[in-house]
Chains A and B, each alone.
Chain A
Amino acid sequence: DSGVTQTPKHLITATGQRVTLRCSPRSGDLSVYWYQQSLDQGLQFLIQYYNGEERAKGNILERFSAQQFPDLHSELNLSSLELGDSALYFCASSVAGAGGYNEQFFGPGTRLTVL
């Protein structure tokens, strides 16, 4: 158990809908990272938050957004869903946000299926 929790574990929805994925980092970790894992694209970095502020952006679509709250949990919002958004979404956390490598601890993921 990495200490990172993600809910829900599975999510099934229809095209055009909007969903929210939730992540709670390990106690004491200030950074949260979101990744998308799909069969064709592999593991793609989406976005990073550090202590409530956006720190880095990766291959995140405009239909997707995220935020980190004062208690440091994070939510990833996916809207106008398409079939191609079906994937595993991972959250990871680390102690710090920049200035060198800090080991990222991954949650178990949320499997999103868009029908």
Chain B
Amino acid sequence: GDSVTQMEGPVTLSEEAFLTINCTYTATGYPSLFWYVQYPGEGLQLLLKATKADDKGSNKGFEATYRKETTSFHLEKGSVQVSDSAVYFCAFGGYSGGSNYKLTFGKGTLLTVNP
């Protein structure tokens, strides 16, 4: 069935380090792909998205490229900050049995950035 597999955490980095969080998906058709971020004590927020193959989503220095050939959507940031400490969720959206659009989430990756 449809699923998302993302890198298990926790991930601990020093400030200004390079970040990669891997995400792969299994889905029928051509889903849209998303990264959501959850800061401590808050709900999820959309970080970036890509709606078709080879699209690159970017926001706040984060980037991810929709790779259809490897069914991947890895999240990267060149220089992380302490304020990036959060849980990151990879998700894909598609139609599940009818006309209803559904989001399927990965299990989340906890990122901690130390000063």
Give me the interface of A with B, judged by CB distance under 8 Å: 2, 4, 42-45, 48, 55-56, 58, 90, 92, 97-104, 106-109
| Number of residues on chain B facing chain A (CB within 8 A) | 22
Q: How far is the CA of A48 from the CA of B93 in the complex (A)?
A: 14
Give me the interface of B with A, judged by CB distance under 8 Å: 32, 41-46, 49, 51, 89, 93, 96, 99-108
Q: How far is the CA of A100 from the CA of B30 in the complex (A)?
A: 12
State which of B42, B46, B89 has its C-beta within 8 Å of the C-beta of A43: B89
* Given A101-B93, A107-B43, residue A42 in contact with residue B105 (CB < 8 A): yes
Give the chain B neighbours of A107 by CB distance below 8 A: 43
What is the CB-to-nearest-CB distance from A102 to chain B, in angstroms, rounded to a whole number?
A: 8
Q: How far is the CA of A66 from the CA of B49 in the complex (A)?
A: 29
Evaluate contact between A90 and B101: CB separation under 8 angstroms: no
Give the chain B neighbours of A4 by CB distance below 8 A: 43
What is the CB-to-nearest-CB distance from A71 to chain B, in angstroms, rounded to a whole number?
A: 21
Q: How far is the CA of A104 from the CA of B108 in the complex (A)?
A: 17
Consensus secondary structure, chain B interface: strand
Evaluate contact between A103 and B46: CB separation under 8 angstroms: yes
Give the chain A neighbours of B99 by CB distance below 8 A: 98-99
State which of A45, A97, A106 has its C-beta within 8 Å of the C-beta of B43: A106
For B97, give the chain A residue with the smallest CB separation: A56
Evaluate contact between B103 and A48: CB separation under 8 angstroms: no
* Given A42-B107, A43-B108, A101-B32, residue A56 in contact with residue B102 (CB < 8 A): yes
Between A and B, 6 residue pairs with Cβ closer than 8 Å are A43-B44, A56-B102, A99-B99, A104-B46, A106-B45, A108-B41
